[in-house]
Amino acid sequence: MQDKVTNILIVGVGGQGTLLTSRIIAKVAVQMGFDVKVSEIHGMAQRGGSVVSQVRYGKKVYSPIIKKGDADIILAFEKIEAARWLDYLKPDGMVIINNERVNPLSVMSGKEKYPDDIHEKITALLPKTTIIDATAIATRCGNVRAANVVLVGMLTAAVGIPAEEVEKAITGIVPAKALQVNLTAFREGLAAGA
């Protein structure tokens, strides 16, 4: 078992499944025998505002909070949210971004313009950046709402988590009516990340 604590920051907007994703990752870590701490910040989630989950796991974890500059991985469900939280990432950290655009209120009201080249700028800054169209993959799998589980598949491939542990966690958490779509979406994300 590792002594190092792994810090995963999951960022998105309300309704994208960030909280379910943190539950899946935390359950996997528990199944693998790690100590786990989770922190969730809901903000204005119901109005499309930021939602942030922090998952920390290792041999012993004392705090659920990831300090700026300590995240090993940012799992971003939307491009602008990825940029918003970059100062939490370690210099050699990894970013996995869903290539989705959700206009914040300031853009919808015309006060600001959504930056079109945001993922190119992130990739230029951080070589360990992966962009995936998780929304399109989830739609092909049968439910656009499974994009979060596509991202879990990408994460699983990127960090070498045993896929069977993730499938076991998904099966234990996701309701039966949505289970098959979510397992398919997970496998598609895993294949895309391999």
pTM for the whole structure: 0.90
Residue 121: its pLDDT value, please? 86
- Domain interval for residue 143: 6-193
Which residues are within 8 A (CB) of 181 and not within 5 positions of it... i.e. 6 or more apart? 141, 142, 143, 146
Question: Is residue 46 scored above 60 in pLDDT?
Answer: no
Please check whether residue 1 lies inside any domain of the structure.
no
Residue 111: its pLDDT value, please? 87
Which residues are within 8 A (CB) of 168 and not within 5 positions of it... i.e. 6 or more apart? 28, 31
What CATH number corresponds to the domain at position 28?
Answer: 3.40.920.10
Q: Apex CA 18: angle with CA 14 and CA 23, to 5°? A: 140
State the average pLDDT over residues 95-124.
Answer: 84
Please check whether residue 175 lies inside any domain of the structure.
yes
Please check whether residue 126 lies inside any domain of the structure.
yes
- Is 29:55 a contact under the CB 8 Å cutoff? yes
Residue-wise pLDDT tens digits, 168-194:
999 999 999 999 999 999 999 999 998
Domain count, the chain: 1
